[in-house]
Amino acid sequence: MVEEALLQVKHLKKYYEIPQGLFKKDIIVRAVDDVSFTVNRGETFALVGESGCGKSTTGKTILRLTDPTEGQVIFNGTDVAGLEYNEMRSLRKQLQMVFQDPYASLNPKKTIKQILMEPLRVHNQFDEKDRLQKIKDMLEIVGLSKDYLDRYPHEFSGGQRQRIGIARAVILQPDFIVADEPVSALDVSVQSQVINLMLDLQKEFGLTYLFISHDLSVIEHMTDRVAVMYLGKIVEVADTETLFKDPKHPYTQALISAVPISHPAENKERVILKGDVPSPANPPSGCAFHTRCPFAMDICRQVAPETKTFSDGHTASCHLYTKSEEEQKYVTSDSK
Ligand code: SF4
């Protein structure tokens, strides 16, 4: 199958300025710092990393829920980052979002019918009678009864509320959905039901997902390719199977080693990361991961690593793969 790029993110930056008052320099928080990746039509592309790594801000910036500081977001040939408000509004029908907290993202004062009717009205889809039929069909597709139409969000369980959130995103039949931690607020027992629903909808409607999560076991189950983010930058990209079998970047290796084992007989060496994620307002010099990396070398503290592309298309930004053996022998004693 020929892969067709639906979304291209090029050198995307999102910086926030925090004013410090008169006579003091504003602090710049680099939430997303020069991020580039491509999502192919029909695939599920994951962004993974610890909280605060910039993955949610990347998703929101792609959808223009917040404006980018720099860079391009090319969706189906159109640069979303450069669109005026009205142009963006008409494109929004094709770009939707599923939020983490299904309760906070549904208006508690509106019935399910009103919640699902709103996007159809805003985008002028169908006449009133057909809209109602469309809503009933959509509820059935996401596994809810049409008898629930006049109920309010608080009358549903967390899993049911997320089904409503998914129905609201899919009802306009978009091409692309950003799903921001869509199952992390749900009980483990309902997580797999919601994931399976999303996979079924992907097949039925030909959806493309950008799936944002900190949970690698969910990522392993439902995504095709993965980008690993650390402090606003992408440090590794690979197809999901390759990433889990052969993680290259020390940060990815640590994340994967922390995934719970599925059987007690499984033997896995854990990599425990030192310290907390540094502040994106004051990122470490060189490789931003050097303060926690068990393999940090002198060069890592001074020079940001380039991205190495391996023969299978797998990429990693780490001096372990880009520097000569001569340079690598300067491994510091604390890394041994
Ligand atoms: Fe670790 Fe250096 Fe690679 Fe960064 S560049 S991940 S500090 S080895």
Tens-level pLDDT at each residue, the chain (336 residues): 567 899 999 999 999 998 888 788 888 999 999 999 999 999 999 999 988 899 999 999 999 999 999 999 999 999 998 888 888 888 999 999 999 887 788 999 999 999 999 999 999 898 888 999 999 999 999 999 999 999 999 999 999 999 999 999 999 999 999 999 999 888 888 999 999 999 999 999 999 999 999 999 899 989 999 999 999 999 999 999 999 999 999 999 999 988 776 666 666 677 778 788 898 888 999 999 999 999 999 999 999 999 999 988 999 999 999 865 555 544 443 443
Say if residues 135 and 168 touch (Cβ distance below 8 Å). Answer: no
Number of domains, the chain? 1
If one residue of 235, 273, 293 were mutated to test the ligand 1 pocket, choosing by the most ligand atoms within 8 A of its CB, it would be 293
Please tell me the predicted confidence (pLDDT) of residue 333. Answer: 39
228 lines ligand 1 (CB under 6 A): no
As a whole number of angstroms, the distance between CA 309 and CA 332 comes to 26
Which atom of ligand 1 approaches the CA of 301 most closely?
A: 7
292 lines ligand 1 (CB under 6 A): no
pTM given for the model: 0.90
Say if residues 286 and 300 touch (Cβ distance below 8 Å). Answer: yes
- As a whole number of Å, the end-to-end CA separation of the chain is 45
DSSP 67-96: --SEEEEEETTEEGGG--HHHHHHHGGGEE
As a whole number of angstroms, the distance between CA 119 and CA 121 comes to 5
Say if residues 234 and 225 touch (Cβ distance below 8 Å). Answer: no
323 lines ligand 1 (CB under 6 A): no
Q: Chain centroid to CA 315: how far?
A: 18
300 lines ligand 1 (CB under 6 A): yes
Please tell me the predicted confidence (pLDDT) of residue 191. Answer: 92
Please tell me the predicted confidence (pLDDT) of residue 323. Answer: 62
Say if residues 89 and 170 touch (Cβ distance below 8 Å). Answer: no
As a whole number of angstroms, the distance between CA 230 and CA 245 comes to 20
Please tell me the predicted confidence (pLDDT) of residue 331. Answer: 46
Q: Which residues of 64-99 are buried (b: 16+ CB within 10 A; e: fewer)?
A: beeebbebebbbbeeebbebeeeebeebbbbbbbbb
176 lines ligand 1 (CB under 6 A): no
299 lines ligand 1 (CB under 6 A): no
- The overall longest dimension of the chain from CA atoms, in Å, is 73
Which atom of ligand 1 approaches the CA of 294 most closely?
A: 1
Domain of residue 154, CATH code = 3.40.50.300
Please tell me the predicted confidence (pLDDT) of residue 267. Answer: 67
Please tell me the predicted confidence (pLDDT) of residue 264. Answer: 64
Nearest residue by C-alpha to atom 7 in ligand 1: 290
Question: Structural domain of residue 214, as residue ranges?
Answer: 5-335
No. of H helices and E strands in the chain? Answer: 12, 12
What is each CA distance from 155 to 101, 141, 162, 183, in whole angstroms? 16, 20, 13, 19
As a whole number of angstroms, the distance between CA 168 and CA 112 comes to 9
As a whole number of angstroms, the distance between CA 216 and CA 57 comes to 19
